[in-house]
Amino acid sequence: MVRELWESLIESLEGLGSVIRFLLRLIVASPRALMRYDLIAQQIFNSGALSLVIIMLSGLFVGMVLGLQGFQLLQRFGSGEALGTAATIGLVKELGPVVTALLFAGRAGTALASELGLMRATDQLSAMEMMAVDPVQRVVVPRFLGGVIAMPLLAAIFSVIGIYGAQLVGVQIMGVDSGSFWSQMRAAVSLSDINEGIVKSLSFGVACSLIAVYEGYNATPTAEGVGRATTRTVVTSAVVILFLDYLITAAFL
């Protein structure tokens, strides 16, 4: 039993090392890959623009729930007017980056992993190697960078829509004063809160995109191999996101 634990620990360490080496390889190939901005733009579209609908919808609903719950809770202490502050801080620092990252892993992460896995399974990556084109530079890095760039933008959009969702519920439905909603928020929220949110979503972007392209690129070239890679992407991303969330929150304290 202990032996199995030990072995899986070693395996995880090996996996981590492998992922980090892949990241280094991506970083090294990035400068030349950046020159093909058309490829990167395409990937920003795939990972970002195509995720807009789900992110906006989720942001709206999360914001609305935050408005409801937040108001109920604050009202008990007579601080219903602080809803603006509570919703904004909750969204910008935690819910925005984390929920966006989880949704991203589910939608864009799986798309990246399965695309690359399929290219691996149909020999497209080998064909590129044969044509003396580095598949990492041409196919993997643009997808990685696309995800990294898209994530903070998505998280920001999520937060903004969430704030309006909270306002919708709080002001229109629950009767919080609109002026107080915004002015208390402005007084209490500082730029460092926003910065913390941006740092988080950037880190999540790097982590999720890295995991997705890594799993896809190294997938076993069979149908089930690709399926497994896709599942692993979501699971690993989720765990890493939540872990990083704790680290960064603690670091900013």
Partner 1 sequence: MNQSTPIVDIKKLDYAINGRPVFAGLDIQMQRGQVTAVMGPSGTGKTTLLRLITGQVMASGGCIEVEGQNLRQLSRKDLYILRRRMGMLFQNGALLTDLSVFENVAFPLREHTDLPERLIRQIVLTKLQAVGLRGAAELMPAELSGGMSRRVALARAIVMDPEILIYDEPFVGLDPISLGVILRLIRRLNDALGITSIVVSHDVQEIASVADQVFLLSGGKVVAQGAPADLKRSPSEIVKQFVGGLPDGPVPFHFPAPDYFSELLSRSEDH
Partner 2 sequence: MRKSHTLNLGTGTFVLLGFAALFFLSTQTTSRGLSFGRSPHYILTAKFDNVGDLKVGAPVSMSGVEVGRVSKIEFDSKEYKAVVQLRINNKFGQIPTDSDASIYTQGLLGGKFIGLTAGGAETYLKDKDQIDFTQSAFVLENLIGQVLANFTKSKADAQSAPPADTKPTEKTK
Q: Does 191 bind partner 2 (CB under 8 A)?
A: yes
User: Per CB under 8 A, which region of 18-26, 114-122, 197-205, 212-220 contacts partner 1?
Assistant: 114-122
Written as six digits, the tokens of 22 are 């892949």
Report what 54 binds from partner 1, partner 2, none; CB cut-off 5-8 Å by kind: none
Of 128 and 160, the one with the shorter C-beta distance to partner 2 is 160
- How many residues sit close enough to partner 2 to count as binding (CB under 8 A)? 30
Site for partner 1 in 132-161 (CB under 8 A): 132-133, 138
Site for partner 2 in 80-139 (CB under 8 A): 88, 92
d(CA 93, CA 91): 6
Q: Does 219 bind partner 2 (CB under 8 A)?
A: no
Smallest Cα–Cα separation from 107: which of 142, 147, 157?
A: 147
CB of 117 to partner 1, least distance (A): 13
| Contact characters 59-78, partner 2, x per CB under 8 A | --------------------
What are phi and psi for residue 221, nearest 5 degrees? -75, 50
Q: Does 198 bind partner 2 (CB under 8 A)?
A: yes
What DSSP string describes 150-169?
A: HHHHHHHHHHHHHHHHHHII
Q: Does 150 bind partner 2 (CB under 8 A)?
A: yes
Contacts of 170 (CB under 8 A, 6+ apart): 67, 70, 71, 83, 84, 87, 176, 181
d(CA 229, CA 172): 45
Q: Does 116 bind partner 1 (CB under 8 A)?
A: no
d(CA 56, CA 100): 10
DSSP structural state of residue 134: -
Point out which residues bind partner 2 (CB under 8 A): 41-42, 44-45, 48-49, 52, 88, 92, 149-150, 152-154, 156-157, 159-160, 163, 182, 185-187, 189-191, 193-194, 197-198
